Structure 1
Amino acid sequence: MGDSEPFSYPPIDPVNFDLIIVGTGLSESVIAAAAAAIGKTVLHLDPNSFYGSYFASLSLDEFTSYLNSHSVHPSTDTTATTLGNQHDDGNHVVVELIQQSLYSDVEVFSCASEKENFLRENSRKFNLDLGGPRTLFCADKCVDLLLKSGASQYIEFKGIDASFVYEADRKLANVPDSRAAIFNDKNLTRIEKRRLMEFFKLIQQHLAASSDNHNNSDADDRVDGCNISEEDLESRFVCFMEKMRLPPKIKSILMYAIAMADYDQENNEFCEDLLKTKDGIERLALYSSSVGKFPNVLGALIYPIYGEGELPQAFCRRAAVKGCIYVLRMPVIALLIDKVTGLYRGIKVASGQDLYSDQLILDPCFTIPSRLPSSPTDYSIERIHILSQNEVKRMVARGICVTESSIMTDVSNCLVVYPPRSLYPEQHRSVRALQIGSNLAVCPSGTFVLYFCGVCKDADEGKKLLQAAMNALLVLPVAGNPDNISSDQSESADIKPIVLWSAFYMQKMTAGKFDRISSTPAPDGNLNYNNLLDASEKLFHQLYPNEEYFPETRSPEESKDDNGISLES
């Protein structure tokens, strides 16, 4: 999969562009659409044969092949091209680009031999997300951006039916995300219901008062009635909830299943990202405003029909309408650096052609050699070292399982959150799982796909997190014998879904870099896309500081019904 035959392509014409983008991931595709919308000439390249890069949705065979061909052993360094580090082509210094895999520790299992033929014959009926689990909140930035850009006309969604919290006693508890849900929840005591209702009421009063104060520019007209002090807003969210006398169960639901915190907020030693009250309230407000936003969506979350890969494709289609040129199966192998100024001038593609642009954006896998030989030419090596400084922030452990039954009877699409310490005492990070059924066109009828992820510091921790999360809900095969299940699992085999196929892999998280040569961030461990979209908008404004991000203009032929999100009931 992904084998390229660049020499079969005719030369790209023209050769000069305002912006060249390499990789069709979500960030790159959004920026391509935004730049094309303001009239910039954009060339969008991808070495793969499909759109989406690390955000793609692939068939079962394609997914397995892509993971295996784009992964490295943790001790393996980057893979160099055959150019050598750099050479002189007359006007430019040609500096090789290196593709560094974001994936490692890949393990793929076909767990039930009698189902191998079924999986093989139905491979193309799967649309498996490389960057899952992912969803959109009904009221989040991605929905707003789809509408503003016009990309919403190229994508359809369905609602996620339910959200659950995994409890240490091996039960799945409903996430009470509305007044009606709280009232009808039989797992909450009367005291828990009352405290939760009072807390939600306080949050709503604070948000209403903050909104009124924001709208009143005259200080004398400011509205009193904000019951949360500035001191509380800057305090830790978990401490504020304790101050509000919320029971432990309610705190856990709010912190990890609604505010979506990654780390154990009650353990300072292991918490790498303390959530402040003001940020926790913002996340609760996003969740709350998402519930009921669309009449045919029961909860707060929606998911694209045909998978996550539809999102970057929607923005690519929008960019193409505005004149962006697309070429797939076209690897980029080198940068062209001006011999005198040391500034970026263009790229060299695998066909041998040189292409030029004012700006360049690369997807997060690209880097340059960390050690460049001294050059006889008078140019600044520091300018291109920016790509060798794309540090790894953390890792995300990702896993996918295909089953023949749902984890919950009569529920097809659902989210499950495992709070810290719910799986084992040393679990310092939360895990999220998303089950998607065939009604979203990601798998054959009668099967389900479950995505798992957790932020981790290394592969050992990530594997332990995923293994525990999967064992809690599913029947997994015994290592080395995919046709058998362990004895402790066999008792619950009639209840838990049996895994037919699974994949584990670790993915590096990298931050984006902004300069004449920029790179986008790698997929993160969040459930939604807000942080990635914030980074994309920041990069756009770095490139074009005086331009509007997706100006709201449309031509007559684009004025058909594209002003809403398409949802199937």
Structure 2
Amino acid sequence: MENQLPNDFDLIIIGTGVVESIVSAAASRIGKTVLHIDRNDYYGGHWASFNLDAIQKLQHKATYNSISQDNLNELINENEELMRIGNDLFNIENFKFKWHIPEKRIIVSDDNKNRETKVDEGTLSTEIENEIGEQVNKSTEEEEDWTQEILNKDSRKFNIDLTPKLQYARGDFVELLISSNIARYSEYRSVSRVLTLLNGQLEVVPCSRSDVFANSKVSVIEKRMLMKLLTSLDDGSEDFKNYENKTFRAFLKDKKLTPNLVHYVLYAISMSTDETPCHEGVENTKRFLNSLGRFGKTPFLFSMYGSGEITQAFL
């Protein structure tokens, strides 16, 4: 006799987003019977991850059509009651996909007579075309520029997250993954470095003590000032009574930090704004410092195969 699906469940969950997946796993763990369904052909809801080929196909999928009340009445039998489950809150609509790179590589021969110019209409201006031609003439061994053709060929070598997420190494979510043993079913990597845009250039943010003293863009005096500040914030020796109604930026300026150090601490380490209250900026900084050194040089972890892997681990 073939196994049949049960007719009764303690819980019916619609969707495979992170919240739904955690609830499903928690209910199953305490012995509840769960029917977990999703009308999408992918996991994750708004946390889904797609390779390039899959996300291009997503734009061609029609939005879900609602059924009229008259048609619903025809489907309901006697003594049956219609119960609506799920909602349209997490539908992906108005999807637009646009390339900002040429379709194919422009090939220029040594005598500059043979040129392949098959590109998307309106994608490549004459100026850019000429510039690329000059670069190819300079050296044929230089790394190829990205094209649609190259990326589509390597579509399965990378994922695109609908909701990119980084996790603090000692954050609540990572502790949940460990305590629930979900970490065994997912793979994480440590972010190798943190960058910030400073004076028009991407600069490496000195996170740890070794980073601070190895950074050539920070003077010796600045290094001492930065380490003194971060140490006082981390051990709680700083007094903030006079900053209850002031911003974190005001606190940093009162510490006589240079503009570069204010930028590093305020925007890159604390990830605050100019209007962030002092107590909130301090807590943000502590959270950053507390996660340093657990799994790598920075406080951040990312899912190896995208945010969508997180939801699948709970299923």
If the TM-score is normalised by the length of the shorter chain, which range does it land in? 0.7 to 0.9
Larger displacement relative to structure 2 (86-95 or 100-109): 86-95
Seen in structure 2, the aligned counterparts of structure 1 residues 311 and 244 have a Cα distance that, compared at 3 Å, is same
Is 2:282 the counterpart of 1:281? yes
Q: Hey, what's the Cα distance between the residues in 1 that align with 2:267 and 2:84? A: 46
CA contact (8 A) 1:84 1:96 kept: no
Normalising by the residue count of structure 2, what TM-score does the alignment of the two structures yield? 0.74
More helix by proportion, 1 or 2?
Answer: 2
RMSD between aligned residues: 2.9
What's the secondary structure of 2:179's corresponding residue? Answer: helix
Q: Hey, what's the Cα distance between the residues in 2 that align with 1:161 and 1:97? A: 40
CA contact (8 A) 2:303 2:310 kept: yes
Look up the match of 1:313: 312
Is 2:52 the counterpart of 1:60? yes
Superposed CA deviations along residues 312-349 of structure 1, whole A, max 9, x for unmatched, are 11111xxxxxxxxxxxxxxxxxxxxxxxxxxxxxxxxx
Normalising by the residue count of structure 1, what TM-score does the alignment of the two structures yield? 0.43
Superposed CA deviations along residues 97-134 of structure 1, whole A, max 9, x for unmatched, are 652545546232162322444433433333221212x2
Is 2:42 the counterpart of 1:50? yes
- Output the amino acid matched with 1:142: F
Is 2:282 the counterpart of 1:292? no
Deviation at 1:166, TM superposition (A): 0.8
Is 2:69 the counterpart of 1:84? yes
What's the secondary structure of 2:302's corresponding residue? Answer: strand
Seen in structure 2, the aligned counterparts of structure 1 residues 239 and 229 have a Cα distance that, compared at 3 Å, is same
Written as runs of structure 1 = structure 2, the 5 A alignment for 1:327-342 is none
Instruction: Extract unaligned runs of 5+ from structure 2.
Output: 105-146
CA contact (8 A) 1:81 1:98 kept: no
Superposed CA deviations along residues 513-565 of structure 1, whole A, max 9, x for unmatched, are xxxxxxxxxxxxxxxxxxxxxxxxxxxxxxxxxxxxxxxxxxxxxxxxxxxxx
Is 2:224 the counterpart of 1:194? yes
Look up the match of 1:99: 88
Superposed CA deviations along residues 242-276 of structure 1, whole A, max 9, x for unmatched, are 22222222222222212223xx42xxxxxxxx422
Look up the match of 1:144: 175
What's the secondary structure of 1:69's corresponding residue? Answer: coil
- Output the amino acid matched with 1:120: N
- Output the amino acid matched with 2:314: F
Look up the match of 2:109: none
CA contact (8 A) 2:14 2:85 kept: no
Seen in structure 2, the aligned counterparts of structure 1 residues 257 and 104 have a Cα distance that, compared at 3 Å, is farther
Q: Hey, what's the Cα distance between the residues in 2 that align with 1:53 and 1:19? A: 19
Q: Among 147, 163, 169, which residue is 1:131 paired with?
A: 163
More strand by proportion, 1 or 2?
Answer: 1
Seen in structure 2, the aligned counterparts of structure 1 residues 256 and 106 have a Cα distance that, compared at 3 Å, is farther
Q: Hey, what's the Cα distance between the residues in 2 that align with 1:260 and 1:156? A: 26
Look up the match of 2:101: 111
CA contact (8 A) 1:159 1:301 kept: yes
CA contact (8 A) 1:23 1:53 kept: yes
Q: Hey, what's the Cα distance between the residues in 1 that align with 2:65 and 2:62? A: 14
Seen in structure 2, the aligned counterparts of structure 1 residues 179 and 234 have a Cα distance that, compared at 3 Å, is farther
- Output the amino acid matched with 2:305: Y
CA contact (8 A) 2:59 2:97 kept: no
Q: Hey, what's the Cα distance between the residues in 1 that align with 2:19 and 2:176? A: 12
Seen in structure 2, the aligned counterparts of structure 1 residues 172 and 117 have a Cα distance that, compared at 3 Å, is closer
Written as runs of structure 1 = structure 2, the 5 A alignment for 1:237-276 is 237-261=248-272, 264-265=273-274, 274-276=275-277
Q: Among 184, 194, 197, which residue is 1:153 paired with?
A: 184
Seen in structure 2, the aligned counterparts of structure 1 residues 16 and 256 have a Cα distance that, compared at 3 Å, is farther
- Using the aligned pairs only, state the percent identity: 28
Superposed CA deviations along residues 369-420 of structure 1, whole A, max 9, x for unmatched, are xxxxxxxxxxxxxxxxxxxxxxxxxxxxxxxxxxxxxxxxxxxxxxxxxxxx
Superposed CA deviations along residues 196-250 of structure 1, whole A, max 9, x for unmatched, are 12211221231xxxxxxxxxxxxxxxxxxx4323452553222222222222222
Deviation at 1:45, TM superposition (A): 0.9
- Output the amino acid matched with 2:163: G
Q: Hey, what's the Cα distance between the residues in 1 that align with 2:158 and 2:238? A: 50
Seen in structure 2, the aligned counterparts of structure 1 residues 237 and 99 have a Cα distance that, compared at 3 Å, is same
Q: Hey, what's the Cα distance between the residues in 2 that align with 1:310 and 1:94? A: 31
CA contact (8 A) 1:80 1:99 kept: no
Seen in structure 2, the aligned counterparts of structure 1 residues 103 and 247 have a Cα distance that, compared at 3 Å, is farther
- Output the amino acid matched with 1:309: G
Instruction: Extract unaligned runs of 5+ from structure 1.
Output: 1-9, 72-78, 207-225, 266-273, 317-569
Seen in structure 2, the aligned counterparts of structure 1 residues 145 and 234 have a Cα distance that, compared at 3 Å, is farther
Deviation at 1:96, TM superposition (A): 7.9
Seen in structure 2, the aligned counterparts of structure 1 residues 82 and 172 have a Cα distance that, compared at 3 Å, is same
What's the secondary structure of 1:196's corresponding residue? Answer: helix
Deviation at 1:165, TM superposition (A): 0.7
Look up the match of 1:182: 212
What's the secondary structure of 1:108's corresponding residue? Answer: coil
Q: Among 48, 61, 64, which residue is 1:69 paired with?
A: 61
